Amino acid sequence: MKRLDCAIDGCHATIEAESEDAVMTQVGAHAAEAHPDLELDDETVEGIRSQIMTV
């Protein structure tokens, strides 16, 4: 199981999924809904991926 806590200040969302790719799919949906001003460019995506933990 993979887990990611949202790094945006004040956001307490946690995403859990079976794989890193599944987490990243949910990250895209979460960002679009909760953080529409966040640009998911390559550097941001790489930083997000680096914060995914195995639980």
Give pLDDT tens digits along the chain (55 positions).
Answer: 999 999 999 999 999 999 999 999 999 999 999 999 999 999 999 999 999 999 9
Which residues form the domain of 45?
2-54
Residue 51 has what pLDDT?
A: 98
The answer to whether the Cα torsion of 24, 29, 33, 38 is positive or negative is positive
8 A C-beta contact, residue 3 and residue 51: no
Model pLDDT, residue 29: 98
State the chain's maximal CA–CA distance in angstroms: 29
Total structural domains within the chain: 1
- Tell me what pLDDT residue 17 has: 98
**Residue 8: predicted pLDDT:** 95
